[in-house]
């Protein structure tokens, strides 16, 4: 009886360890996805014309301030 209980406990520990590893991997993927969405490069790549026109307008405004 004690051997089967020990085997069950060990199997549960291994299963918990695998699930914790899976959770760690999923969390790393989630953080990477969130960081990619939060970067300025993401928005520049998604809306290039708006950034181009915005940069030109800013440059024009700064150039005419003199």
| Domain spans, the chain | 2-64
Confidence check: pLDDT of 5 > 90 = no
Over residues 1-23, mean pLDDT? 89
Positive or negative: CA dihedral 63, 64, 65, 66: positive
**Confidence at residue 1, expressed as pLDDT on a 0 to 100 scale:** 55
Kind plus residue range of the DSSP H or E element containing 1: none
Q: What share of the chain in percent tops pLDDT 70? A: 95
> Each residue of 24-52: pLDDT tens digit?
999 999 998 888 777 788 788 888 999 99
Over residues 47-58, mean pLDDT? 92
**Confidence at residue 57, expressed as pLDDT on a 0 to 100 scale:** 94
């Amino acid at each position: 009886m004690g051997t089967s209980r020990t085997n069950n406990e060990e199997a549960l520990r291994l299963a918990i360890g695998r699930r914790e590893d899976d959770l760690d991997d999923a969390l790393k993927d989630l953080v990477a996805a969130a960081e990619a969405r939060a970067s300025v490069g993401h928005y520049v790549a998604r809306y290039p014309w708006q950034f181009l026109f915005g940069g030109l307008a800013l440059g024009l405004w700064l150039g005419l301030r003199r």
